[in-house]
Chains A and B, each alone.
Chain A
Amino acid sequence: MKQPSHPRPSPVDSKVVGATAETNRPPRPWRPPWWMAVGVALGLVVLALVSREGGGVNLLNALVRFANFVVIPGISYGSQLALGALGVTLIYAVMRFSDFAHGDTMAFGAMGVILTTRVLQGMGISAGPLPTALLALPFGILGAITLALVFDRAVYRFYRRQRAAPVTFVIASIGALFVTNGLVRLIIGPGDQRFADGVRFIFRVQEFKEMTGLSEGLALRTTQVITLAVAVIVVLGLFLFLNRTSLGKAMRAYADNEDLALLSGINPERVALWTWIIAATLATIAGTLYGLDKSFKPFTYFQLLLPIFASAIVGGIGKPLGAIAGGFVVAFSEIAFTYPYRKILGYLGFETDSLVQLLSTDYKFAVSFIILVVVLIWRPRGIFQGRLV
């Protein structure tokens, strides 16, 4: 029989095995991939040479098209996934289970934001050029935190005290998934909601074309910039919190070794409380940004669960940095595998009739799972050597 690609737990306690494996093979440090940058630069030069008449301009056109349809959407979608995956990975690190209700927590938080936005709009309050939803964000976060804490007190705490098996938590989280989903549908309905207001574009395709004289245009939407800015701020804040504050350190200690943390007097209830607060905050922000960028629909948020889990696992579950990397890997793969490259290749001098699309757009969600399965088989602990489940 084929040797299993994944270290099988031996008759000894699996935690001990994991620990020895770690000492035998220390995780490889992350090195900036210089060779990749050099390769990309060389590739661009070659492409510029092979592009037909007016090579430089055509190359620029190709690059602008690529940026407009792949890079910019990838960055904003990646940030949204990263924020969602950060929540999943934090819950996993501290509570040791995969929270299947996370997608719906995102929907619940976003719903709070939408309802508050409607109230604010009714009162005539707006954030000027920015979407009103940014003002409503704190209220949505409060709503999601309340929900998360109610679930923690009513459901998860009981199993935590019993030290129940992780599967019990997962099944309980399915109960939470049903309840949250039902609440969202009851309160706001299952339909589509659009709540983005303010200035829609920073610059439009037409303006870009006039500005640069290229035949390809580049559009930059306000929501895309806001997504990136908010994501960067939130992630910096989270890392400062985890690395600098005593509470963050307590959380990391608890995640690393529960028994040792308990011995040194860390209060598990306090750690759990703050984990839920942070996870609910991240979920609301991710849900709101996704809703602003696309639109809000409860079912879409449930579907987001799949790419979010993929991001968390691809990056290495339990590792915050991995969640971010995973989010971008999944987002870029989803877009890059389903984008038709015909026009870009046309600019580079390869005229074809086919769309040059690797997969039809309908397979978008399937892409994240192909990546997930590949990563699980060849590198089960993800890019950043996360915890082995």
Chain B
Amino acid sequence: MTVNAGTGMGKPFWLALAMAMALVAVGVLQSWNVALAILNLQLISAVMALGVNIQWGYGGLFNFGIMGFTALGGLAAVLVAMPPVPEAWAAGGGGMALAAVTMAGTAAAVWALHRLIKVKALRGPAVALVFVAGLALTRWFYGPSVAAIEAVDSSVTGFLGGLGLPIILSWLAGGVLAAAVAWVIGRITLGLQSDYLAIATLGISAALVAVLRNEDWLARGVKNVTTLPRPVPYEQDLHGQAWFIDLAGRVGMEPSLLSGIVVKALYALLFGVVLLVLFWLSHRALHSPWGRMMRAIRDNRDAAEAMGKDVTRRHLQVFVLGSAVVGIAGAMLVTLNGQFTPASYAPFRYTFLIWVMVIVGGSGNNGGAVLGGFLVWFLWVQAEVGGPWLITALTSGLQEDSPLRQHLLNVAPHTRQLLMGLILLVVLRLSPRGLLPEQSSKHSPGPQQIGTEPS
């Protein structure tokens, strides 16, 4: 099917319809609960893919640190929505504040010394001295406060808690937190070119997640925060009420089943609104003078620089914006799960899979990124179910207790990694610009040039 990208809605419409049909098929064949659960994560994945698309598709930035920004969004959900723990604040709040002040002071002193001392031979030792002294001072305040905070009822709290605000505010906070951290990271790393930036951000995101895993006073680390409030009603509250039971009777469904569906549908509604707003904003941004400038920088950085565009600043801007969108998605994800589990952040799921979504969907095209998010998440989930099914079918000739069959059935869920890799390689080969390619004007480069710089 060849539909000219300029002439209409043909291909996107049919692909979206096919996706919707697939979800309906899951609803009919498996259950509506499963279909809605997939839809919710598809919506979140689509938001994440939008964020990556802003960085990679508009700006050509190779950010492999998506996992870190997702986790920061999750942290924001904890910090905004959990009730504060006054005992912990009383025990170690002051010490933590002092540690924060000394740390900021050290950073400021190092920065100032770096600026002020002109003699190169003196600068290194002076900075090192201040750094070590500041670190020692910070640790002196930090160590006892951490111990005090983590000792406060450590099986339930043992952390400072949050602000106790409605969790829906955390979506915004997640974006802001991710943007703030992205600004710092961007200032450090955006001088680097493609591969180096990818490696540096991959490492920084691993370091960020390591911090979240180990700093128990912040968000309980691997002890997890499991009792996050929800923006939607609880199932058990719903199906206890008379009007709901009445409604269930009219629809002809068990109240317990219907309540699950209603709750998931409410989540889907909230996520859908966020996705639509972000999609509209990024669509407007891409088709504005700013979007044209970003694409110009991506396609020929040197020419754009010669035209007087401040490439480094634009890169920083687009890096911060994209990370903020990913942070929003991270907060939504934790809201949906109702818990923050730092150990669950793995680069496969939260960095590379999102990249597969963007590349498969079509980098530079917002609709493509969203479609990629929907499609790839659908396949990722269904492959986990489909893998064992396929292997059962394939090995039906073998004996029931054959060791090969047992082994294959045990590892069958891992076929999805293989499947994702193959999909990525096939799409990259046959349709290198994704399923929904960037809508090109006559000035755009040829289809092969998906990179930031000519080889």
Contacts and interface: CB of A to CB of B under 8 A. Distances in A.
Given A4-B312, A98-B199, 9 more contacts: A1-B313, A155-B425, A164-B451, A165-B452, A166-B195, A178-B348, A190-B411, A363-B207, A363-B210
B448 interface: yes
* Most central of B200, B352, B421 by chain A CB within 10 Å: B421
A186 B213 contact: no
Interface of A: 1, 4-6, 8-12, 14, 96-98, 100, 154-155, 158, 162-168, 170-172, 174-183, 185-187, 189-190, 302-303, 306, 309-310, 313, 354, 360, 362-363, 365-366, 368-370, 372-373, 376-377, 380, 388-389
CB-based closest 10 A-B pairs: A165-B451, A178-B421, A182-B418, A182-B417, A369-B203, A179-B421, A185-B414, A175-B425, A366-B207, A175-B424
Q: Please report whether the interface of chain B is mostly helix, strand, loop or mixed according to DSSP.
A: helix
A104 B202 CA distance: 16
B352 A168 contact: no
Given A98-B198, A185-B417, A389-B196, A171 B306 contact: no
A158 B432 CA distance: 12
Contact of B195 (A8, A98, A190): A98
Contacts of A365: 203, 206-207, 210
B407 interface: yes
Band of interface residues on B: 35 or more
Contacts, number: 177
Nearest to A303: B206
Contacts of B356: 174, 178
A179 B425 contact: yes
B58 to A, nearest CB: 15
Nearest to B190: A4
A183 to B, nearest CB: 6
Interface of B: 62, 143, 188-189, 191-196, 198-200, 202-204, 206-207, 210-211, 213-214, 301-303, 305-306, 312-313, 347-348, 352, 355-356, 359, 407-408, 410-411, 414-422, 424-425, 428-429, 432, 448-455
Nearest to A4: B191
B355 A171 contact: yes
B384 to A, nearest CB: 12
Contacts of B204: 369, 373
Contacts of A6: 191-192
A187 B211 CA distance: 33
Contact of B206 (A180, A366, A388): A366
Given A165-B451, A366-B206, A373-B204, A170 B417 contact: no
Nearest to B311: A8
A4 B421 CA distance: 37
A163 B193 CA distance: 19
Contacts of A372: 199-200, 203
